């Protein structure tokens, strides 16, 4: 065999192997596609009107699991999800039990853990932090300390505690330091991140690079697309139409699904905070994932 022909053949073989690897990574047997979840906050208005009918629509759309919200006041949606064969591994919860545990009227985190164990949750997620608790880098250090303490308790209960980002955590507060950098530096090995890809992009950060950097520290991902043309970074509110169905925005999903696997992510959940037709939106997003 001539050298030129050999090199051509070797290159073709290499490209074919690479393509086969990518197809395997994103194909129908990809575990994130097979076990794709939905953060039910997307359908909050529909759930309020008809919990059972809404969860049936989620199962009919092809979702395999859901992430609840408002825990511990989420019993009806969790029961309906399980009745339709949907796994419920994770929930957002009354976050002040962790972020501001001494606030009057706050549900004790121990009580939340007990109820989470009773319904079989393996993940709890801090979904938000009030503006008054995130104004300075010291505020974020305090947040990290509180999260670390709670994560130890969660671990002893067999539950993984994580923190869900928005864009505001990436805003520089002093020099190049941001709240998210503080959390990355200060979180213990017991405390993990739920990375919301949309908000990372709104902050003009690269989701793939961030997930790769946090390898072993990301428990879950939120998948939602970002409308083309939005000026970023934007650390405040974004217009409702900034939230797009998967495939209708600017985010490239194949590299995100791939890096999720190498970073050790447990679960991926579709979410769309705002939509004029939420049921159609979640149907469209899962259909797009089927094309990857």
Distances (CA, A) of 137 to 48, 98, 185: 37, 18, 12
Residue 236: other Cβ atoms inside 10 A: 9
**Considering the entire predicted model, what is its pTM?**
0.90
Query: Which pLDDT tens digit goes with each residue over 236-247?
Result: 999 999 999 999
How far is residue 257's CA from residue 265's CA, in Å, rounded to a whole number? Answer: 10
User: What's the rounded Cα separation, in Å, for the pair 137 and 121?
Assistant: 32
Cβ atoms within 10 Å of 218's Cβ, excluding its own: 22
What domains are defined for the chain? 29-289 (3.20.20.150)
pLDDT at 176: 85
Calpha distance 194→205 (Å, rounded): 15
Confidence (pLDDT) at 28? 67
- Assess contact for 89 and 127: CB atoms under 8 A: no
Phi and psi torsions of 47, nearest 5°: -65, -40
From the number of C-beta atoms within 10 Å of its C-beta (0-12, 13-18, 19+), residue 251 rates as buried
Instruction: State residue 174's pLDDT score.
Output: 87
For residue 243, what are the β-bridge partners? 226
DSSP 3-state assignment of 252? coil
Residue 178: CB partners within 8 Å, gap ≥ 6?
A: 169, 170, 171, 172
- Please provide residue 24's backbone torsions phi and psi, each rounded to the nearest 5 degrees: -65, -35
- The strand pairing partners of 100, in sequence order, are none
Which ranges of the chain have pLDDT less than 50? 1-25
Provide the pairing of β-strand 218-223 with 172-174.
unpaired
Q: Which residues contact 132 (CB under 8 A, 6 or more apart)?
A: none
């Amino acid at each position: 065999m001539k050298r030129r022909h050999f090199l051509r053949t070797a290159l073709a073989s290499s490209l074919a192997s690479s393509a086969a690897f990518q197809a395997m990574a994103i194909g129908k047997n990809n575990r994130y596609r097979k076990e794709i979840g939905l953060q039910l906050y997307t359908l909050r208005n529909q759930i309020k009107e008809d919990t059972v009918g809404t969860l049936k629509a989620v199962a009919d759309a092809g979702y395999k699991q859901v992430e609840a919200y408002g825990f511990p006041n989420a019993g009806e949606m969790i029961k309906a999800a399980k009745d339709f064969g949907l796994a419920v591994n994770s929930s957002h919860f009354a976050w002040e039990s962790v972020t501001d545990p001494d606030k009057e009227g706050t549900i004790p985190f121990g009580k939340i853990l007990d109820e989470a164990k009773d319904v079989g949750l393996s993940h709890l997620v801090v979904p938000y932090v009030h503006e008054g608790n995130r104004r300075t880098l010291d505020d974020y250090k305090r947040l990290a300390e509180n999260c670390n303490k709670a994560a130890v308790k969660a671990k002893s209960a067999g539950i993984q505690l994580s923190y869900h980002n928005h864009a505001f955590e990436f805003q520089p507060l002093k020099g190049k330091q941001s709240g998210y950098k503080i959390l990355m530096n200060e979180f213990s090995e017991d405390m993990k991140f739920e990375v919301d890809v949309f908000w990372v992009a709104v902050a003009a950060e690269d989701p793939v690079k961030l997930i790769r950097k946090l390898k072993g520290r990301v428990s879950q991902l939120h998948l939602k697309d970002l409308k083309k043309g939005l000026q970023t970074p934007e650390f405040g509110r974004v217009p409702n139409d900034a939230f797009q169905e998967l495939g209708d925005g600017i985010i490239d999903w194949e590299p995100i699904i791939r890096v999720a696997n190498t970073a050790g992510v447990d679960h991926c959940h579709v979410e769309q905070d705002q939509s004029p037709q939420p049921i159609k939106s979640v149907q469209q997003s899962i259909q797009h994932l089927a094309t990857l």
